[in-house]
Amino acid sequence: MQHFRNLFQPSYEELLRGEFPCRGKWSSFWFGNDRPIIAELGCGKGEYTVTLAGKDPGKNYIGIDIKGARMYSGAREALEKNLPNVAFIRTKIENTPLLFDSGEISEIWLTFPDPQLKKVKKRLTSTFLLRRYLQFLQPGGVIRLKTDSVFLYAYTLALVRLNRFDILAATGDLYASEA
């Protein structure tokens, strides 16, 4: 994967020192345009990242995950399909504020994250991580959650209400609703 031009693997030390070259410059440094940037956090194999990028070339997509073996297939597929609006980053989700500048991301996707039943701070919808996302999400930006976990759905809905975030749409059964 070190030879994939669309994949970044910054070290934690590099991020802490502020040496990650894309932070605050994704539009100019990497994508070469000023289109909205959507981040898929916990992207796994990157299927959503690649699919969304292929369907909407008017936006830029960044998939982030810690597991390089999973991400490999999405990064490879994006290269094979010659998708210039896709990048991947191998790092911990906790590091995302070190990857992006304030307001740099317009939308966040959380697709089928692990519910982390025993590790509250590791849930991608925990208050701890939601507060981190707000450091780089544009004002009025959107966080989208897609899950098949009844527990994570109920937990997130309660957390969103507790923190007084706006809910644009919510459904317990996406395929049986119009949301």
- Residues noted as catalytic: 114
From residue 87, alpha-carbon distances to 41, 125, 170 in Å are 12, 23, 29
How far apart CA 38 and CA 107 sit, in angstroms, is 5
> In the chain, how many H helices and how many E strands?
5, 6
Contact at 8 Å (CB) between 105 and 37? yes
- Supply 60's token pair: 């830029």
Residues 6+ apart with CB under 8 A from 17: none
